[in-house]
Amino acid sequence: MRLSLPPWLYWWRSLRFRLLLILLAVMISFYIWVDHNVASVLKDVALEHASSSIHLTSETLNLAITPHTTLSAIQGLNDYFNELLSYDGSALVYLALYDEKGALLAGAGLQHYDEGSAVSLSRSEQIAQGVVHVRQSILILDNQVGELSYGLSLLVFDQNVQRIHQNNIWVLFFAVLLVIMVLLFAFVRLNQRFSRLLKASPALVAGDYHVRAPVDREDELTLLAKHFNMMADAVASRIQALESSQEKVEQLNAELEQRVHDRTQALRDTLNRLEDAQQHLIQSEKLASLGALVAGVSHELNTPVGNALTVITTLADKHDAFVERLNQNALRRSDLDAYVVNVQEAQLLTSRNLRKAADLLQSFKQVAVDQTSYQRRSFNLSATVDEVLMSIQPMLRRSQVEVVTEIDAEILLNGFPGPLGQVITNLVVNALTHAFDESSLLPQVRITAALAPDSDWISLVVEDNGKGIAPEHLKKVFDPFFTTRLGQGGSGLGLHIVHNLVTGMLAGEIHVDSELEKRTRFMMKLPIKAPASLSCDEEMS
């Protein structure tokens, strides 16, 4: 976690401090350069001063000592040397006179003589120590009569150099102090103008778009303030434009929401009407299917009932003739035998036709009850399919389509035979309507059923050898109101009802595949025992 330091600890980040530091560094560097140059010049001056002092002192001493070179005068040189050393203006430290063999003849202040420094140190190093050691020959008429050794002090010169350095330091100190005061004054003035400019920025950020930076004079900060004010004007105009646009957007959003609400309500109403219409069409389809069943059964009943009526009518006529002969006492044995034969034949014909009518009525009753009530019961699949096909037999005869069933007679189901019968009816009627035309050869619908390997399901297939379904239509055959014969007897709900019944109340699956000009096959997978389910009307909704 990074520590948060107080703002005053970040003073080193200030540009003003950096500028002040740079100026101070420049001034100190300039001072060091000047001081170095002055020291170099003073060193050169010291060398020149030492050389000139040595030359002058050497000539002076040579002239002063020459008169004392006699043996009688040498005894007074010690006093003379002491007088020279004790003179206030003298820079001599020690004096020594040697003969031509190097023996000391006279000397003064020899305690200050350092033979090692005199021999090993250079002239510059001797100047640095403050004493210059000199050893020169004493010549008389260009003949060396001895040597003079003395030490020349540069203490006064060093003191002068030190005073020059101290003066330079004080001058630099006051110059730096003056510069710092001037810079601080300038920085204070500059900081005041920066502060006024910086105070305007947070106000602009806080939303006060009327704040402006003060403009005092013509300089860089004034130019910056002018640009800041131009930016504030631009921001204010943009904000005003955005606020205006925001109001327009909010107004448009409100209008759009109202439009969406109105359109949604209209779509909801339309959807409700379509759902109601769909339910009415589904009920109409169911009633139409039941009506077709009634018409077919009525047509089937017409033949046996008509035959029975004809037989009874004929028998009645013969009975009236028999009674008339009996009343006229003209009845013969042959008439009685013929009457008995006619009664027996009429009984057989009437019984056969009435039994057929009764079977038709029973099938019609069971199918009608199944398709209207959708009651759950156990039923034989083969018998139920035969009953359904018998109810649409007139339609099959008119279409001349052969229906072949291959269903194991031992398959027993526990479920809803009504919805299953409606599925079979719709699939067969769909094949009669769409699969065949006048050019179809040997039209056939095949219904097959078999137990699945797990024995809990059956596979029920309704297949025709008709025209097939186009690939672009194959995925839409179960959609409501989809038909390729709109206005030609097709409602678009037959297969939709089939899909809803199979996947809903019958709790199964249905798939379709087709090949053009070859076949169409509807494959269903149904449970042997259908689970507890809703009523069909609820499933259809």
Residue 271 is encoded by which pair of tokens? 């959807």
Give the CA distances from residue 472 to residues 95, 169, 280, in Å, rounded to whole numbers and listed in that order. Answer: 135, 104, 29
Residue 296 confidence (pLDDT): 59
**Which is higher by pLDDT, 98 or 144?**
98
Residue 71 confidence (pLDDT): 54
Residue 431 is encoded by which pair of tokens? 């094949």
CB neighbours (10 Å) of residue 149?
19
Among residues of the chain, what percentage have pLDDT more than 70? 77
Question: CA 336 to CA 325: how far, in whole Å?
Answer: 10
Span 423-427, average pLDDT: 91
CB neighbours (10 Å) of residue 437?
9
Q: What share of the chain is helix, strand, coil (3-state, %, to 5)?
A: 65, 15, 20
Question: CA 41 to CA 454: how far, in whole Å?
Answer: 119
First to last CA, the chain: 64
The burial of 80, by beta-carbon neighbours within 10 Å (0-12 exposed, 13-18 middle, 19 or more buried), is given as: middle
**Which is higher by pLDDT, 368 or 199?**
199
Q: Which of 93, 95, 89 shows the shortest CA–CA distance to 65?
A: 95
Q: Check: pTM over 0.85? Answer yes or no.
A: no
All domains of the chain in start order, with CATH:
14-179 (3.30.450.20), 374-540 (3.30.565.10)
- pLDDT above 50 for 416: yes
Residue 261 is encoded by which pair of tokens? 């609400």
Which residues, including other chains, have CB under 8 Å from residue 152's CB and lie 6 or more apart? 50, 53, 54, 57, 91, 92, 93, 131, 132, 134
The pLDDT-based confidence of 497 (bands split at 50, 70, 90) is confident
Highest mean pLDDT, choosing among 5-19, 127-141, 272-286, 518-532: 518-532
Query: What are the backbone angles phi and psi of residue 442, rounded to the nearest 5°?
Result: 50, 60
Span 415-438, average pLDDT: 88
- pLDDT above 60 for 534: no
Residue 464 confidence (pLDDT): 94
One-letter amino acid for residue 448 of the chain: T
The number of C-alpha atoms within 13 Å of 106 and in the hemisphere containing its C-beta is 18
**What Rg do the C-alpha atoms of the chain give, in angstroms?**
70
- pLDDT above 90 for 522: yes
**Which is higher by pLDDT, 311 or 63?**
311
Which residues, including other chains, have CB under 8 Å from residue 494's CB and lie 6 or more apart? 285, 426, 429, 430
Which residues, including other chains, have CB under 8 Å from residue 8's CB and lie 6 or more apart? none
Q: Which of 463, 470, 448 shows the shortest CA–CA distance to 515?
A: 470
Query: What crossing angle do the helices spanning 15-65 and 155-205 adopt, rounded to 10°?
Result: 170
- pLDDT above 90 for 393: no
Residue 446 confidence (pLDDT): 95
Question: CA 380 to CA 370: how far, in whole Å?
Answer: 14
Span 197-221, average pLDDT: 73
- pLDDT above 70 for 372: no
- The residue written with tokens 């069409």 in the block is 281
Residue 180 confidence (pLDDT): 75
The pLDDT-based confidence of 357 (bands split at 50, 70, 90) is confident
- pLDDT above 70 for 201: yes
Among residues of the chain, what percentage have pLDDT more than 90? 11
The pLDDT-based confidence of 524 (bands split at 50, 70, 90) is very high
**Residue environment code for 452-484, b if the CB has 16+ CB neighbours within 10 A, otherwise e:** eeeeebbebebbbbbbbbeeeeeeebbebeebe
Question: CA 308 to CA 354: how far, in whole Å?
Answer: 7
Give the CA distances from residue 438 to residues 309, 432, 433, 434, 516, in Å, rounded to whole numbers and listed in that order. Answer: 38, 11, 12, 12, 17
Span 212-228, average pLDDT: 74
Residue 541 confidence (pLDDT): 42
Task: Find out whether 132 and 151 touch, Cβ atoms under 8 Å.
Answer: yes
The pLDDT-based confidence of 535 (bands split at 50, 70, 90) is very low
Concatenating the DSSP letter of every residue in 124-148 gives HHHHHHTEEEEEEEEEETTEEEEEE
Question: CA 375 to CA 414: how far, in whole Å?
Answer: 11
Residue 9 confidence (pLDDT): 46
- pLDDT above 90 for 448: yes
Question: CA 342 to CA 137: how far, in whole Å?
Answer: 197
Residue 377 confidence (pLDDT): 87
One-letter amino acid for residue 449 of the chain: A
- The residue written with tokens 């000139």 in the block is 52
- pLDDT above 80 for 75: no
- pLDDT above 50 for 8: no
- Longest CA–CA span in the chain (Å) reads 233
- pLDDT above 70 for 7: no
Span 145-164, average pLDDT: 75
- pLDDT above 50 for 538: no
Which residues, including other chains, have CB under 8 Å from residue 378's CB and lie 6 or more apart? 412, 413, 414
Question: CA 163 to CA 526: how far, in whole Å?
Answer: 122
**In what order do the strands lie in the sheet containing 519-527?**
402-407, 444-451, 457-464, 519-527, 509-515
Span 256-284, average pLDDT: 81
- The residue written with tokens 């006529």 in the block is 317
Residue 355 confidence (pLDDT): 77
**Which is higher by pLDDT, 540 or 501?**
501
- pLDDT above 90 for 122: no
Q: Give 337-352 pLDDT, tens digit per residue.
A: 888 888 888 888 888 7
Question: CA 449 to CA 408: how far, in whole Å?
Answer: 7
Residue 278 confidence (pLDDT): 64
Span 455-477, average pLDDT: 90
Distance, CA of 246 to chain centre:
27
Question: CA 536 to CA 530: how far, in whole Å?
Answer: 13
Span 470-486, average pLDDT: 82
Residue 205 confidence (pLDDT): 74
- The residue written with tokens 């000539």 in the block is 59
Task: Find out whether 225 and 201 touch, Cβ atoms under 8 Å.
Answer: no
Enumerate helices (H) and strands (E) in the chain, giving the number of each: 13, 11
Q: Which of 229, 235, 230 shows the shortest CA–CA distance to 214?
A: 229
When the pLDDT of each residue in the chain is averaged and rounded to a whole number, the result is 77
The pLDDT-based confidence of 368 (bands split at 50, 70, 90) is low
Span 310-326, average pLDDT: 83
